[in-house]
Structure formats: C-alpha cells, structure tokens
C-alpha cells in the first residue's frame, strides 16, 4: 500500500473518531499531493527501458538425408513398378497368339527370371519406396489395360500390330531405361538386372520384328 493511500486511511479513521480538524488537515495535504501527482508518477511505458526480447530457441538441426538410402529407395520404387508390370505381362501376353505361343512362353519365363534376379540383388535395399510413384504407375497400367483389351478384339492388321508394339514392347523398353538410370546413378548391384532386361528387350524385339514383317510388311521396331 503506497504513502498516498496510507494518509487517506488515516484521514478516514480520524473522521470516524470525530477529529474533524485533524482529518481536514490531512485531506488538505492529500489535495496538494494530488496536484503534484504527474511529477510523482512512474515514467510512462514509452520512457521505460525496453524489456529485452529473449533469443529465439534454436531449432533442432534437420537430419541430413542419407544419399545411399535415397538411391536404395529409388531402386526399391522401380522394383515395385516392375513387379506390377510383370503381372501385366502375365495377364496379357498369352492372348497375343500371333507372337507365337513358344515365343510367349520364352518371354514370360525370362520376365520371371528377371524378377527373381531383381528381388535377390535388391534384398539389402531399404524397404521404403515412393508409394505415390508406384500408385501413379499402377494407374498408368490400368489405362494401358483398357487399350490392350480393345486391341484383343481387333482384327490382325498392320494397325493392330503397330498398336501392340506400342502397348507391349515400348512399355518394357521404358521400364528397362528406368532400371538403367538407377544403375547409372549408383546402384551398381543392378548390373545383372540390366543385363537381363536388355536380353529380354532384344528377344522381344526379335518377336515383334518377325511378326511385323509377316503382318505389317515393315519393321515396327523402327516405328516411333
């Protein structure tokens, strides 16, 4: 309680005791104090020393990404994509009889072998992969499946042979290029997978070439 308030209470007590003269004296003194109040007040906030701002709490340093783990994640993502593509071929190749049933069996067996090699060499890779990329590829193959189903109903002509080359051969070649990029970016373990993929690409090209010469009378492997 401050000095001004003390005096006010004393004046009130004197007033209650009937000591009006003494109470009036204190009241007069309080009036004079009130007139001088601006000089007695604490300085305004603007004049006060600014309160120091505490330094910001330093953020914990972000954990640096491991380049090797990022490469492995990329390789695992491509492996998951190839897994989906292999099932796409398992479902559809058998319906393209004009490729030759024996050729189809050889291609399917080679794809299964490539998958087995890929699974072994990537066994020590991280199990993490880009789910969004795999989901987009699945959606792409779902769209491709509609085109394949439409092609299965078409009469065997040059147009159909050209479409099938795009749907089947070109899709595998694009996957092979992805695996080659993974290898070139640092996943040397993929070397046997790359070799097998190139072998399948060449076998597939031979089948396409044979049938395109018979049906389209042109080399569809050169078709862009």
Q: pLDDT tens for residues 139-191?
A: 999 999 999 999 999 999 989 999 999 999 999 999 999 999 999 999 999 99
Is the confidence at residue 1, as pLDDT, over 80? no
Q: Using a pLDDT cut of 70, give the percent of the chain over it.
A: 70
pLDDT of residue 167: 95
Question: How many domains would you assign to the chain?
Answer: 2
Tell whether 55 is covered by a domain.
no
Tell whether 57 is covered by a domain.
no
Size of the chain in residues: 224
What letters, b where the CB count within 10 A reaches 16 and e where it falls short, cover 1-34? eeeeeeebeebeebeeeeeeeebeebbeebeeee
Question: Which residues span the domain enclosing 166?
Answer: 67-222
Give 224's pLDDT tier (boundaries 50, 70, 90).
Answer: very low
Mean pLDDT of the chain: 83
Q: Are residues 130 and 181 in the same domain?
A: yes
Q: Is the pTM of this model over 0.85?
A: no
Gap between the Cα atoms of 97 and 155, Å rounded: 12
Question: Taking a C-beta distance cutoff of 8 angstroms, is the pair 111, 204 a contact?
Answer: no
Tell whether 34 is covered by a domain.
yes
Q: Are residues 104 and 167 in the same domain?
A: yes
Gap between the Cα atoms of 29 and 206, Å rounded: 116
Tell whether 174 is covered by a domain.
yes
Tell whether 60 is covered by a domain.
no
Least Cα distance to 168 among 77, 106, 85 occurs for 85
What letters, b where the CB count within 10 A reaches 16 and e where it falls short, cover 171-202? bbbebbebbeebbeeebebbeebbebbeebbe
Find the radius of gyration of the CA atoms of the chain.
43
Q: Helix (H, G, I), strand (E, B), or coil: what is residue 105?
A: helix
Burial group, residue 88, by CB count within 10 angstroms (0-12, 13-18, 19+): buried
pLDDT of residue 219: 63
Question: Taking a C-beta distance cutoff of 8 angstroms, is the pair 178, 78 a contact?
Answer: yes
Tell whether 154 is covered by a domain.
yes
Is the confidence at residue 213, as pLDDT, over 80? no
Q: Which has more pLDDT, 37 or 222?
A: 222
User: How much of the chain is in helix, strand and coil states, percent to nearest 5?
Assistant: 75, 0, 25
Q: Are residues 21 and 109 in the same domain?
A: no
Q: Are residues 8 and 91 in the same domain?
A: no
Give 13's pLDDT tier (boundaries 50, 70, 90).
Answer: confident
Q: Which has more pLDDT, 211 or 96?
A: 96
Each residue of 50-96: pLDDT tens digit?
556 666 666 655 567 899 999 999 999 999 999 999 999 999 999 99
């Amino acid at each position: 309680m401050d000095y001004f308030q003390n005096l006010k209470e004393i004046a009130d007590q004197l007033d209650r005791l009937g000591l009006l003269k003494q109470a009036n004296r204190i009241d007069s003194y309080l009036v004079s104090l009130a007139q001088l109040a601006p000089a007695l007040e604490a300085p305004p906030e603007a004049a006060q020393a600014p309160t120091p701002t505490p330094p910001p709490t330093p953020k914990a340093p972000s954990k640096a990404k491991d380049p090797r783990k990022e490469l492995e994640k990329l390789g695992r993502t491509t492996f998951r994509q190839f897994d989906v593509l292999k099932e796409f071929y398992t479902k559809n190749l058998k319906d393209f009889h004009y490729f030759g049933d024996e050729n189809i069996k050889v291609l399917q067996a080679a794809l299964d072998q490539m998958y087995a090699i890929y699974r072994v060499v990537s066994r020590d890779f991280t199990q993490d992969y880009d789910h969004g990329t795999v989901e987009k590829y699945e959606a792409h193959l779902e769209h491709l499946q509609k085109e394949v189903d439409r092609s299965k109903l078409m009469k065997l002509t040059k147009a159909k042979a050209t479409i099938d080359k795009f749907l089947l051969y070109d899709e595998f070649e694009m996957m092979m290029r992805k695996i080659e990029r993974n290898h070139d970016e640092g996943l040397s373990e993929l070397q046997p997978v790359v070799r097998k993929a190139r072998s399948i690409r060449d076998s597939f090209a031979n089948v396409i070439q044979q049938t395109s010469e018979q049906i389209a009378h042109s080399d569809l492997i050169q078709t862009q």
